[in-house]
Structure 1
Amino acid sequence: MTEPEPAYPTALGASTRDRITLLGRDLADDVMGTVGFGELAFWLATQRRPTAGQTRLFEAVLAALADHGFTPTAIAARLTYLSAPDSIQGALAAGLLGGGSRFLGVTEDCGRFLHDVLAAQDGVLPADDAGWDALALATVARRRGDGRFVPGLGHHVHKGGDPRTPRLFAIAAEEGLVGPHLQLFAAIGRVHPQVLGKTLPLNGAGVCGAALADLGLPLELLRGFALLARTAGLIGQLAEELRHPVANRIFLSVDLNNVSVPPDPYEPPALTDEPGGSRG
């Protein structure tokens, strides 16, 4: 008996001798020159075509996350290119690999955090700002009691307010896309001083996470969208490095200014018989 050929179903790209399809459309005739890249990225991730408003908000998020100057991710990309100019993919990968909890990762962290709070409401969400404020107040107080930060709250540079934040909220409002994640995050911005005793800005990257969650994008991919945006920024960083190189100066600044110090041997933690300790 002949074994059936294995099947690998996909609704994404597929090719025959004379045709390429993507998302069930003819790539050459229906997509190229017709569908913008931001719209296509959203469509590929959700397999549903976004509305014009959804595309506008999604692309605003991508723009907000594209480049932030000489961040560690940009420096890593430039230095890798200095070391291996024959490997543009290595330079881009080096920059993308630095997207974690301190840079870029807050987009996903905030989106997931807000989603978890909302999911715990069992479908019963506040009906007005007073209700959102009460939920936000309880959420911030609980995080404070647990000794944990609220993702997306605070910024190391924009102490008086992240300029991306009001613009993203405005675009979402203009397009009728202020959903529960953005509503909860806005409420956190209003009430957190009551718990923390100080006012912190809502981080633009956090607002991006809330907006992406409200757009119905998979939570597991939120950091991926931040990396998609930063890829464009890293290409810009490398293009500028070609024209106006600074990576060698960065390297030499460290290399020529390092200071030799005595060794600082690592001491392993002491073994203990106390509860939770290790036993030999």
Structure 2
Amino acid sequence: MAEPADRASYPTALGASDPETITLLGHDLAEEIMGAVGFGELAFWLATQRRPAPSEIRVFEAVLAALADHGFTPTAIVTRLTYLSAPDSIQGALAAGLLGGGSRFLGVTEDTGKFLHEVLESLGGALPSDEAGWDAVALSTVRKRRAAREFVPGLGHHVHKAGDPRTPRLMRIAAEEGLFGPHLSLFAAIGRVHPAVLGRTLPLNGAGVCGAALADLGLPLPLLRAFALLARTAGLIGQLAEELRHPVARDVFLSVDLNNTSVPPDPFVPEPLGEGDGDG
């Protein structure tokens, strides 16, 4: 029977199947990808629809490792607590942790990559050729952020105040693979010059350097947080696996439930509208 002329068509270069085969990225999934392509390589390939070089895979997988787990962060705690509340919903526990990936945890990867890219775009293609040139751009950038009372994404860490060990390691890996590009160069320069503007030294954090490295790999900027969430998914699975063997979520819950203190209500009072602040 002939197909209707107006039949809808939904083209995709990703997964497609027929009764005999499954095709992924133009390759036979069973025969050419399974057992031959690592998960990190496949994730990169799916996002870019081009197969990464070994050097790119090394940097990309180093980023995934850096972001997989960082202890009892809010994302890990909420995953464990959700599992305590709903052990029948493993997907709910994982989703709860991933939904907490925002501007303070995990989202910094995206924020830093986009911030650095915006600065680079403002240069109009005239990128510095040496460290002194990068320092000049970084100094101007940090001064502008300070004048606007805005934070510099990727600068500072609540635990690693003397230096995040992930940052120099990822920079070395990128340099070894010839992938230390303009985003990492600018980020490193910010680390060198910011004390002269801020009057104190803050560490370049791991989430920020991951954003710079991902941007240098040419990955889509709107997906940078997604890669951080991909990495953290593995970490959250680890948190749940440990919760099964050595549960702590109930203790976390009880430490709050048994130690709360009743206080009088503190009603919210909206600020009065000034002249000209209404709708007109």
TM-score (norm 1): 0.97
* Pairing 1:103–2:115 present: no
Query: Which amino acid counterpart does residue 20 of structure 1 have in structure 2?
Result: I
Cα deviation, residue 70, structure 1: 0.6
Query: Which amino acid counterpart does residue 23 of structure 2 have in structure 1?
Result: T
CA contact 1:212–1:222 (8 Å) conserved in 2: yes
Q: How does 1:1-280 map to 2 (within 5 A)?
A: 3-273=5-275, 275=276, 277-278=277-278
1:214-250 C-alpha deviation (Å, 9 max, x unpaired): 0000000000000000000000000000000010111
User: Aligned partners of 2:198 and 2:273: how far apart in 1?
Assistant: 38
1:95-125 C-alpha deviation (Å, 9 max, x unpaired): 0000000100100000000000000111110
User: Aligned partners of 2:93 and 2:204: how far apart in 1?
Assistant: 31
Cα deviation, residue 194, structure 1: 1.1
List runs of 5+ in structure 1 lacking aligned partners: none
SS in 2 for 1:21: strand
User: Aligned partners of 2:67 and 2:279: how far apart in 1?
Assistant: 48
User: Aligned partners of 2:141 and 2:279: how far apart in 1?
Assistant: 40
Cα deviation, residue 269, structure 1: 2.2
1:51-109 C-alpha deviation (Å, 9 max, x unpaired): 00100000000000000111100000000000000000000000000000010010000
Runs of 4+ in 1 over 2 A off after TM superposition: none
Cα deviation, residue 163, structure 1: 0.3
Cα deviation, residue 270, structure 1: 1.3
Query: Which amino acid counterpart does residue 278 of structure 1 have in structure 2?
Result: G
Identity between Structure 1 and Structure 2 (%): 77
Cα deviation, residue 50, structure 1: 0.4
1:7-64 C-alpha deviation (Å, 9 max, x unpaired): 1000000000000000000000000000000000000000010000100000000000
User: Aligned partners of 1:245 and 1:159: how far apart in 2?
Assistant: 30
User: Aligned partners of 1:231 and 1:162: how far apart in 2?
Assistant: 22
CA contact 1:106–1:152 (8 Å) conserved in 2: yes
Query: Which amino acid counterpart does residue 215 of structure 1 have in structure 2?
Result: L
User: Aligned partners of 1:115 and 1:130: how far apart in 2?
Assistant: 19
Cα deviation, residue 164, structure 1: 0.3
1:121-177 C-alpha deviation (Å, 9 max, x unpaired): 111100111111100000001111111110001111111110001100000000000
Query: Which amino acid counterpart does residue 126 of structure 2 have in structure 1?
Result: V
Query: Which amino acid counterpart does residue 69 of structure 1 have in structure 2?
Result: G
User: Aligned partners of 2:175 and 2:78: how far apart in 1?
Assistant: 37
Tell which deviates more after alignment, 259-268 or 90-99.
259-268
Cα deviation, residue 3, structure 1: 4.5
User: Aligned partners of 1:42 and 1:70: how far apart in 2?
Assistant: 28
CA contact 1:271–1:279 (8 Å) conserved in 2: no
CA contact 1:272–1:279 (8 Å) conserved in 2: no
List runs of 5+ in structure 2 lacking aligned partners: none
